[in-house]
């Protein structure tokens, strides 16, 4: 873990070639995969609930990949470094108050990325939406956390989780979870996310989809451990997230902008994470961990593919895309692979995560299981539609087939794909299902 952090800081501060950054990351992944305790350690992290270790690993990996992918904008590397440090501190914080401070501080570098390197004049409006939604939802959380710390006499997660859980009454549980549900986001508090993704630069979209959304899931998991909420309250959130995820999948079928397409698919996937965390079962918690880890690599890869396709087509509209299977077969191949990963096709981590959440849905109500099945079905539908819209058909006259793919672009896509194939480790699967 510390080797990842040290390598990332060196690569961010020293102007190394992008290929060196990518090769160094590949070496780290290879060394980690050959270590004899790597499989057992990862399985233990996913099962025992040490979600912070998984998130730190994800942050270090995606920070390197975002620098590699945005090599044309070297000025973004220091901002990515600052954002990653805030995320490291948030995921490793042992204090509830410090976790809240770094939770909110991560918005500042993200806002700077959107406003400074955004594509269109609406980037200021997108940044305003993001700040208003997330900060407004998190202010009640600060009041409740301070009150809970003063009542218990400690702000340490380990101490608070060992105490008898505090029963919340009325709508206080909604104020507590609102900050994390909007951050993920849940349907209804999601309007800031498509705007932020559409206006953000490539590195901003990758970090926002890959790491910042997971910060909400991590906080939700930590709050569930130290506070007690009634089963009926969880059922309300279950209904909101599952029906919202289904509606987000249906909205994807009507999207035209490819970045907005991927953003709404993230809303649908995060509903599975919310359901897994709130279930409280071992399978549900493992499912949320696996989905967050897998989505952390698949969604940024789709945004990277959208950016590369935009460079060649000159538009993000799916109406004017098509024919890249004949002009760019390698690009179309990566579109196929990551759309398959995003729809949870075997043998990827997404399939493992989505299947493990089904018993948790059944434990609440059979209707939630039906909605989960429909969500999986429409997820496959809109991912197939996305691939067909980009790859099949006739190539537009204004496309630039002479612009070849660079080695750094192919390397970045390959490095996004490698962690998603960890499901091929048979011992990891058996450990997760044991």
Quote the pLDDT of residue 356.
84
Contact 253, 378 (CB under 8 A): yes
Highest mean pLDDT among 67-81, 222-236, 415-429: 67-81
Quote the pLDDT of residue 227.
66
Give the residue with greater pLDDT, 94 vs 398.
94
Quickly state the pLDDT bin for 68 (edges 50, 70, 90).
confident
Over range 31-47, report the average pLDDT: 42
Q: Is the pLDDT of residue 19 over 50?
A: no
Over range 212-217, report the average pLDDT: 86
Percent share of the chain, pLDDT over 90: 5
Q: Is the pLDDT of residue 28 over 60?
A: no
Quote the pLDDT of residue 304.
92
Quickly state the pLDDT bin for 12 (edges 50, 70, 90).
very low
Contact 132, 193 (CB under 8 A): no
Q: Is the pLDDT of residue 22 over 70?
A: no
Over range 155-177, report the average pLDDT: 63
Quote the pLDDT of residue 434.
45
Quote the pLDDT of residue 165.
54
Q: Is the pLDDT of residue 35 over 50?
A: no
Quickly state the pLDDT bin for 43 (edges 50, 70, 90).
very low
**pLDDT tens digits, 379-419:** 889 999 999 988 887 776 666 655 677 777 888 888 888 88
Quote the pLDDT of residue 422.
63
Q: Which domain holds residue 247?
A: 2-433
Over range 21-29, report the average pLDDT: 46
Quickly state the pLDDT bin for 50 (edges 50, 70, 90).
low
By the 10 Å C-beta count (0-12 exposed, 13-18 middle, 19+ buried), 215 is classed as buried
Give the mean pLDDT of the chain. Answer: 77
Percent share of the chain, pLDDT over 70: 77
CA 147 to chain centre: 31
Distance between first and last Cα of the chain? 26
Number of domains in the chain: 1
Quote the pLDDT of residue 170.
53
Question: Which of the residue ranges 25-29, 93-97, 352-356 would you say has the lowest mean pLDDT?
Answer: 25-29
Which residues pair with residue 317 across a beta bridge? 257
**pLDDT tens digits, 325-360:** 887 888 889 999 999 988 888 778 888 888 888 887
**166 phi, psi to nearest 5 deg:** -85, 125
Over range 68-84, report the average pLDDT: 83
Quote the pLDDT of residue 302.
92
Highest mean pLDDT among 18-22, 155-159, 166-170: 155-159
Quickly state the pLDDT bin for 30 (edges 50, 70, 90).
very low
Quote the pLDDT of residue 417.
86
* DSSP structure class, residue 405: P
Give per-residue burial for 352-365: e unless 16+ CB within 10 Å, then b: bbbbbbbebbeebe
Q: Is the pLDDT of residue 13 over 60?
A: no
Sign of the C-alpha dihedral computed for residues 73, 78, 80 and 83 taken in this order:
negative
* DSSP structure class, residue 208: I
Q: Which residues contact 102 (CB under 8 A, 6 or more apart)?
A: 86, 87, 89, 90, 93
Q: Is the pLDDT of residue 70 over 50?
A: yes
Question: Dmax of the chain from CA atoms?
Answer: 68
**pLDDT tens digits, 227-277:** 655 555 667 777 888 888 899 899 988 888 888 889 899 888 888 888 888
pTM of the predicted model, to two decimals? 0.84
Quote the pLDDT of residue 40.
44
Quote the pLDDT of residue 34.
39
| Secondary structure class of 296 (helix, strand, coil) | helix
**pLDDT tens digits, 125-155:** 888 888 888 888 888 888 877 877 777 776 7
Quickly state the pLDDT bin for 159 (edges 50, 70, 90).
low
């Amino acid at each position: 873990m510390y080797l990842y952090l040290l390598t990332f800081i060196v690569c961010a501060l020293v102007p190394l070639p992008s290929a060196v950054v990518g090769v160094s990351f590949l070496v780290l992944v290879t060394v980690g995969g050959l270590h004899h305790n790597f499989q057992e350690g990862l399985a233990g992290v996913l099962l025992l609930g040490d979600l912070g270790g998984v998130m730190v690993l994800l942050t270090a990996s995606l920070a390197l990949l975002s620098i590699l992918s945005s090599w044309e904008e070297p000025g973004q590397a220091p901002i990515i470094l600052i954002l990653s440090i805030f995320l490291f501190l948030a995921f490793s914080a042992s204090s509830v108050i410090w976790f809240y401070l770094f939770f909110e501080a991560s918005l500042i570098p993200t806002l700077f990325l959107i406003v400074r390197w955004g594509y269109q004049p609406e980037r200021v409006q997108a940044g305003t939406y993001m700040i208003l939604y997330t900060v407004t939802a998190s202010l009640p959380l600060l009041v409740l956390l301070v009150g809970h710390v003063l009542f218990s006499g400690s702000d340490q997660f380990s101490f608070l989780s060992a105490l008898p859980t505090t029963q919340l009454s009325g709508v206080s549980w909604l104020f507590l979870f609102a900050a994390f549900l909007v951050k993920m986001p849940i349907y209804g508090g999601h309007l800031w996310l498509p705007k932020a993704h559409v206006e953000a630069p490539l590195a901003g979209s990758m970090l926002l989809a890959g790491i910042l959304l997971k910060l909400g899931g991590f906080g939700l998991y930590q709050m569930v451990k130290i506070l007690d909420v009634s089963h009926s309250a969880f059922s309300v959130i279950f209904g909101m997230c599952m029906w919202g995820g289904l509606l987000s999948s249906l909205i994807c079928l009507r999207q035209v902008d490819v970045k907005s397409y991927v953003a709404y698919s993230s809303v649908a996937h995060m509903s599975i994470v919310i359901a897994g965390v709130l279930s409280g079962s071992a399978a549900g918690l493992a499912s949320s961990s696996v989905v967050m880890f897998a989505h952390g690599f698949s969604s940024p890869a789709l945004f990277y593919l959208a950016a590369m396709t935009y460079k060649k087509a000159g538009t993000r509209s799916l109406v004017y895309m098509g024919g890249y299977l004949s002009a760019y077969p390698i690009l179309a191949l990566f579109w196929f692979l990551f759309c398959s990963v995003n729809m949870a096709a075997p043998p990827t981590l997404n399939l493992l995560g989505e299947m493990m959440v089904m018993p948790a849905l059944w434990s609440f109500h059979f209707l939630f299981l039906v909605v989960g099945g429909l969500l999986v079905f429409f997820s496959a539908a809109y991912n197939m539609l996305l691939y067909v819209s980009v790859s099949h058909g006739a190539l537009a006259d204004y496309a630039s087939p002479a612009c070849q793919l660079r080695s750094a672009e192919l390397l970045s896509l390959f490095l996004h794909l490698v962690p998603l194939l960890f499901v091929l480790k048979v011992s990891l699967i058996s450990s997760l299902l044991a």
